[in-house]
Amino acid sequence: MGDTLAPHLIALDVDGTIVGYDGSLSESVRRVLDRLAEEGHHLVISTGRALPGALEVVHALGIERGFVVCSNGSVVVRLDPELPLGWEMHHVVSFDPRDALEKMREALPTALFLVEDPDLHRWASAEFPAGELAESDTLDIVDFDELLTKRATRIVMREVNGTAEEFAAAVDRLGLHEVSYSVGWSNWLDIAPEGISKASGLALVATELGVDHEHTVGAGDGLNDLEMIEWVAHAIVMGQAKDELKALATVVTGRIEDDGLATALVDHFDLDRTLLGAAGSTDTRP
């Protein structure tokens, strides 16, 4: 396909797609993404992470211009090194979390709850397990009732006890109809405003960049990637993903530890395969 391609929007989930679950970044992935950026394609981080965690990966990859979709689409940020912070808020969607939070606590009263507000500050009912939240110093612990008073770009419910099956059954009982939600890997539920997802954020970014839908590529591994994988023209799903996501893929690639993202992008964009190097070789956290 080579250098004659029109600039593509390449939407990239972070955890389990770009970086391993331990935060490690493969040199093969780094090299392939660098090459795609050099060829004029738009790398768009698209993540459930809040902005600070998303920016960790943006900086590790040396991305200075463009857009970042974070908080599962509720927050879209424009990157520009000439801005005072290197970025600015481009689009934020929030909602009243009271009804959803009350239903969630009724279903799982022992769960942990987190609200991210439109200023990207996070408030939680208790500390989350170590390592689960990036930039945890931005987290304030407050009474559950105070969470009900906030505006929210997203809510997180995390149950540290019980099985995945019990958690899924509790989510099914919630009857959440006025919001969008996705169940994560480990008894984790993300709640966003109704109709908001990575796909809605990426559609906005594609318009801003002037990229036709036929030139969109996306890669992910989690159920919060469903809408994104359905939306992009070429959908790459990681090998460790659940069957529900794999069923929507254009390509099911290797697992994160086998550099599946790098392999799929090299194949799709017809890049030099020497960029792949030795699968699984990683450096430190981004």
Query: pLDDT per residue over 167-187, tens digit each?
Result: 878 877 777 655 555 555 578
- Residues of the chain above pLDDT 90, percent: 65
Mean pLDDT throughout 70-87? 95
Sign of CA dihedral 208, 223, 243, 286: positive
- pLDDT reported for residue 187: 82
Res. 63: pLDDT tops 90: yes
The contacts of residue 148 (CB under 8 Å, 6+ apart) are 97, 98, 101, 102
**Cβ atoms within 10 A of the Cβ of 143, count?**
9
For residue 229, the surrounding DSSP H or E stretch is helix 226-231
CATH code of the domain made up of 98-193: 3.30.1240.10
Res. 9: pLDDT tops 80: yes
Query: pLDDT per residue over 121-151, tens digit each?
Result: 899 999 888 777 765 456 899 999 999 999 9
* Inter-residue contact 72 to 48 (CB < 8 Å): yes
* Inter-residue contact 265 to 249 (CB < 8 Å): no
Lowest mean pLDDT among 28-42, 172-186, 192-206: 172-186
* Inter-residue contact 62 to 81 (CB < 8 Å): no
Domain ranges of the chain: 2-92+197-276, 98-193
Residue whose C-alpha is closest to residue 234's, from 76, 61, 41, 94:
41
Task: Write the CA distances from 44 to 27, 67, 201, 258, integer angstroms.
Answer: 19, 6, 10, 22
- pTM, rounded to two decimals: 0.87
Query: pLDDT per residue over 258-285, tens digit each?
Result: 999 999 999 999 999 999 975 444 443 4
Q: Considering the chain, what is the average pLDDT of its residues?
A: 88
- Give residue 95's Cα distance to chain centre: 19
Higher pLDDT, 21 or 261: 261
- pLDDT reported for residue 115: 95
- pLDDT reported for residue 276: 92
Task: Report the SS3 class of residue 141.
Answer: strand
Q: Edge-to-edge strands of the sheet including 42-46?
A: 87-92, 75-79, 66-70, 42-46, 9-12, 216-220, 234-237, 251-252
> Structure tokens of 116?
């991210």
- pLDDT reported for residue 60: 94
For domain 2-92+197-276, the CATH architecture is 3-Layer(aba) Sandwich (3.40)
Query: pLDDT per residue over 214-256, tens digit each?
Result: 999 999 998 889 999 999 999 999 999 999 999 999 999 999 9
Task: Report the SS3 class of residue 160.
Answer: coil
Residue whose C-alpha is closest to residue 211's, from 46, 7, 51:
7
- pLDDT reported for residue 70: 93
**Cβ atoms within 10 A of the Cβ of 213, count?**
11
Res. 96: pLDDT tops 60: yes
Provide φ and ψ at 135, rounded to 5°.
55, 50
> Structure tokens of 254?
């290797």
- Residues of the chain above pLDDT 70, percent: 90
Mean pLDDT throughout 42-59? 93
Instruction: Give CB contacts under 8 A, 24+ apart, made by 146-149.
Output: 147/97, 147/101, 147/113, 147/115, 147/123, 148/97, 148/98, 148/101, 148/102
- pLDDT reported for residue 135: 55
Residue whose C-alpha is closest to residue 198's, from 78, 54, 48, 35:
48
